[in-house]
Amino acid sequence: MNMDGFFLIYLFIALISLLVTPGTSTPLHKRQLPVPSSYAPNYTACPSGSIIRSGLSVSNQEKEWVQKRNGVVSEVWRARNVSGILPRVGIAVSGGGYRAMLYGASILSAMSTTTPSNTSPAAGIFQLSTYLSGLSGGSWLVSSLYTTSPFPTLTPQNLSQTWSLNINLLRPTSGLKDTAQLYIDIAKDVKDKHNAGFPVSITDVWGRLVGLHLNPGGEQEAAQANVEDTPLWSSVVRATEFGAAQVPYPVVTTVQRSQGEDRVTVMANIWEFNVHETGSYDDSVKSFIQTKYLGTYLSSGTPQHRPENNGSSIANQPPCVTNFDQTGFLAGTSSSLFNVEVGGLGPILSSLSSILSSRGLDTALIPNPFASLPAVNGSIATPTELELVDGGEGGQNIPLWPLIIPDRSVDLIFAVDASNDEAGYPNGTSLIITKQYAGWKGVDTWFPPVPSTPEAFVAQGLHQKMTVFGCAGLASNGGGGGNYTGPMVVYVPNRQVTFPTNDSTFKLEYTMDEITGYFANGAALMSNNPSNVTAPSWSTCLPCILSAPLYRNGSATPSQDCQACFKAHCWDGSETGTPPGAGMGPPATRGYTGQGPPPSIPFGAADNAGTRRMAGGRWWSAAIVVGVIGTFFMRSDVVQIPEYTYLQNTRVSKIKCLLNLNSHKGE
C-alpha cells in the first residue's frame, strides 16, 4: 500500500474518534503476566514430539492438574464435614457483553470466600469448583481474571480498576490525538501479523480493543506502544495460583463457521481454548493442538508453512509458531460476531457487512492444525484456515459443552446466564438448545432434561429463580429426567433483586455506582431463592444441592430437610406452558424470541462456490470497518439502532428471528 493509502486510513480513524465520546481515566492497577513484545506470531523450532492429538479424552497435562486440584478441593469439602466420593463442580458464565461480565463477576464474588465480608450461603462454591468456562462476555471475565496476577479479589472496587469499564470500549483515551495514535498502533500491529505470513480479519482489531480493557491500567497508557498486548493464554500455566491449583481450570469457548457458509448453524462444532490445548470434542473434530503452538499450520500432522508463504523468505523459518495465542485475540474470537447480517440498519452497514464477508474478514481466522488429518471429517480437513466466531452464535450462550464432556467427570454445574432473551433477561433458551444439541449429536445422556420451550420456562417461573436440573431419584416429585445419571445443572438466571441488571449489550461504559449495583444484586440473588412450596431456608438447601451428587452415587443419604429442598428447587419434569404441538422436534411454529437461530432450523447453508469468501484479506480493511461500526454503535444521533432487530437467513429468506444485534445469542 502506498503512503496515500496510509494517510487516508489514519485520517479516517481520526475522524471516527471525534464521533465517540471518551470516558475518564481509572487508577492504575496490578500488572498481568508478562506480555509479548509484538502482536506478530513467532516462528520457532518444533518440539521433538507431536503438537497435536486426536481423541475424546482430556490432555495428560489437564489430568495431572486436576489431580492436584482434587487435593485442594478435598480440603475445602472436609472443612464442610463432607466426605465420600466428592462431587466435581464446574461454573459456566454466559455471553452478553459487559452485562454478562458484570453479572458473572457478581455471582463469582458471592461464591468466593475471599470476598471481604461475604455472608452469602454460596460462599465457597468458587473454591470447591474444578472448572470455570466463559463465552463472549463471559470469556472476558474468565480471561481477565486468569491473566491478572495475583488473581484478583472479586470486589467492585478491585475489578473496576482491572477492567476500565468507565472507559469507552471503542475510544479508551480522553484525547483525540491519543485515540488516533491508538488506532494507528492497532493497524500497525495487525499489519505486522499480516506481514509475518498470517491471515488477519476484523477480529484482530476487535481483539486488540478487548485486550486493552483486560489490561490493568491500560487505559492510562493507551498512547504507549503495545498496551493492547495481553499475556499468552498458554502462559497462564505459569501463574502462581494456577500452578498451585488454587483456582478452577479456565476454558474459553467459540464456535466454527464451516467453509462456504454465511452463518453458523445450530449444529456447529464447539471449540475451546484451554491453557493446555485448543480443539473440539465434537465427533467431526475430536482433535487438539497444544495452545502454545496454536497458529501452526499442519498437514497430516506435520508442521509446515502456509501454502501462500512458499517461495517467500518466511519459508526459510522453522514451521512451528508461538505467540499466536494472545489472550485478547482469543477473547475477541469468543465475542466475534461480525459475520452476522443484520437488517434494518440501512445501506451503509449492509454494505460494510458485505465487504467483510466478501474479503473473508468477518470471522477469526485460525491456521488449521488438522488439515488432511484422518481423524477429522472433510469440513475440518480441507480448509487452510478455520473460521471461528462468537461462542453463542450456535444458540448455546452458556458454555456448558466443555463441562459435560464425560472425561472431565463434572457432577454439578452452575449455569450463570446473562443472555438477553426477553427484555434484557434470559428465558432458558440456551439450556434448551444445549439439550437439543446433545440429542442431535447422539449424546443425549450428557445433559439433563429441561423444559422443551422458552414458554414453558417462563410459565413455570424458572427464569426467575435458581433451578436444579437432573435431580432424578432425589426428589419425591420425580425431579425430572427419569434415570438420568449425568451432570446436574443449577440454572442461575440473571434477574433483578436489588438493582436492574438488564443493560443493553451496546452499553460500553459503566459507572462505579452501576458496577456496585450489579455486585449487590448478585449477592442478594445468591443469598435467597424463591420457591413455590414450603422448604427449609436457602442457607440449608444450597449445601444439600452441592452434596446432591453424593446422594446419587451412594456416598451419603439425604436428610429430610434435603429431600424437602430437592422438592422445592429441582425441576419436576413439567411441560406446563408449552404451546400445543411444540416439543423437542422442529419448532417451526414456535414463538421463538431468544438467541440465535430457532433451535432446529439450521441457518447459513453453504453458499455457491463462486460466492465463498476468500481466506485472508487486507489488514487495513479490518481497521477501517471496526471504526465505522464503532461509530454507528456509539452515536445515536448518527443512526438509531433498536435493541432488537431482525436477522434474516440468506438461504431461508422467509424465516426471521427477533434478536439482539450484539447477540444473536441473546446477548
Average pLDDT over residues 271-298: 98
Model confidence at 657: pLDDT above 50: no
pLDDT (tens digit per residue) in 495-513:
999 999 999 887 888 999 9
More confident residue, 173 or 198: 198
pLDDT band at residue 645 under the 50/70/90 scheme: very low
Give the cell for residue 544.
444439600
pLDDT attached to residue 667: 56
Distant-in-sequence, close-in-space partners of 260: CB < 8 Å, separation ≥ 6: 606, 607, 609, 612
What is the residue-wise DSSP string for 264-277?
Answer: --TTPPEEEEESSE
Model confidence at 47: pLDDT above 60: yes
Say which residue the cell 501463574 belongs to: 239
pLDDT band at residue 580 under the 50/70/90 scheme: low
Q: Taking CA 392 as the corner, what is the angle to CA 165 and CA 377, rounded to the nearest 5 degrees?
A: 135
What is the residue-wise DSSP string for 171-239?
Answer: --SSSHHHHHHHHHHHHHHHHHHHHTT----HHHHHHHHHHHHHSTTGGGGTTSTTTT---BGGGGGGS
Q: Where are the domains of the chain?
A: 3-569
DSSP assigned state of 583: S
Percent of the chain with pLDDT over 90: 55
User: In degrees to the nearest 10, what's the CA dihedral of 208, 225, 229, 635?
Assistant: -20
More confident residue, 85 or 66: 66
Q: In this structure, which amino acid lies at residue 82?
A: V
Dihedral (CA of 134, 137, 142, 147) sign: positive
More confident residue, 225 or 328: 328
Q: What distances in angstroms separate CA 445 from CA 404, 475, 487, one per listed residue?
A: 10, 20, 9
pLDDT band at residue 11 under the 50/70/90 scheme: very low
Average pLDDT over residues 89-96: 98
Model confidence at 591: pLDDT above 50: no
For 403-464, strand residue ranges (E) read 412-417
Cis peptide preceding 597, ω within 30 of 0: no
pLDDT (tens digit per residue) in 117-133:
999 999 999 999 999 99
pLDDT band at residue 164 under the 50/70/90 scheme: confident
pLDDT (tens digit per residue) in 357-397:
666 678 899 999 999 999 999 889 999 999 999 989 999 99
DSSP assigned state of 662: T
SS3 32: strand
Model confidence at 454: pLDDT above 60: yes
| Least-confidence region, from 250-254, 526-530, 591-595 | 591-595
Q: Taking CA 91 as the corner, what is the angle to CA 322 and CA 515, rounded to the nearest 5 degrees?
A: 90
Model confidence at 464: pLDDT above 80: yes
pLDDT band at residue 175 under the 50/70/90 scheme: low
| Least-confidence region, from 170-179, 242-251, 466-475, 605-614 | 605-614
What is the residue-wise DSSP string for 336-385?
Answer: --TT--BSSSHHHHHHHHHHHHHTT-SSEEEE-TTBT-TTS-HHHHS-SE
DSSP helix, strand, coil percent of the chain (3-state; round to 5): 35, 15, 50
Most confident segment among 103-112, 348-357, 532-541, 570-579:
103-112
Average pLDDT over residues 317-321: 96
The string over 269-308, giving b where at least 16 C-beta atoms fall within 10 Å of a residue's C-beta and e elsewhere, is: bbbbbbbbbbbbbbebbbbbbbbbbbbbbbbebebbbbee
Structural contact between residues 286 and 54, judged by C-beta atoms closer than 8 angstroms: yes
Residue 393 Ramachandran class (φ > 0 left, ψ -120 to 50 alpha, else beta): alpha
Model confidence at 14: pLDDT above 70: no
Model confidence at 592: pLDDT above 50: no
pLDDT (tens digit per residue) in 200-224:
988 898 899 898 887 655 444 444 4
| CATH 3.40.50.300 assigned to 3-569 | no
List residues bridging with 272 in a β-sheet. 253, 279
Q: How buried is residue 433: exposed, middle or buried, by Cβ count under 10 Å (0-12/13-18/19+)? A: buried
Average pLDDT over residues 567-584: 75
- Tell me, letter by letter, the H, E, C secondary structure of 514-568: HHHHHHHHHHHHHHCCCCCCCCCCHHHHHHHHHCHHHHHCCCCCCCHHHHHHHHH
pLDDT band at residue 522 under the 50/70/90 scheme: very high
pLDDT band at residue 651 under the 50/70/90 scheme: very low
- What does the alpha-carbon distance between residue 352 and residue 10 come to, in Å, rounded to a whole number? 18
Number of residues that make up the chain:
667
Question: Pairing between strand 287-290 and 52-54?
Answer: antiparallel
Give the cell for residue 316.
526459510
Average pLDDT over residues 316-323: 96
pLDDT band at residue 628 under the 50/70/90 scheme: very low
Structural contact between residues 133 and 253, judged by C-beta atoms closer than 8 angstroms: yes
CB atoms within 10 A of CB 529: 22
Dihedral (CA of 225, 228, 232, 238) sign: positive
More confident residue, 479 or 553: 553
pLDDT attached to residue 360: 66
Q: In this structure, which amino acid lies at residue 322?
A: T
- What does the alpha-carbon distance between residue 600 and residue 584 come to, in Å, rounded to a whole number? 9
Model confidence at 554: pLDDT above 50: yes
pLDDT band at residue 178 under the 50/70/90 scheme: confident
Report the predicted TM-score, pTM, of the whole model to 2 decimal places: 0.85
SS3 633: helix
SS3 253: strand
pLDDT band at residue 475 under the 50/70/90 scheme: low
Structural contact between residues 149 and 32, judged by C-beta atoms closer than 8 angstroms: yes
Mean pLDDT of the chain: 80
Q: What distances in angstroms separate CA 534 from CA 75, 476, 541, 569, one per listed residue?
A: 33, 14, 12, 11
pLDDT band at residue 137 under the 50/70/90 scheme: very high
Give the cell for residue 613.
469468501
pLDDT attached to residue 656: 28
- What does the alpha-carbon distance between residue 157 and residue 598 come to, in Å, rounded to a whole number? 40
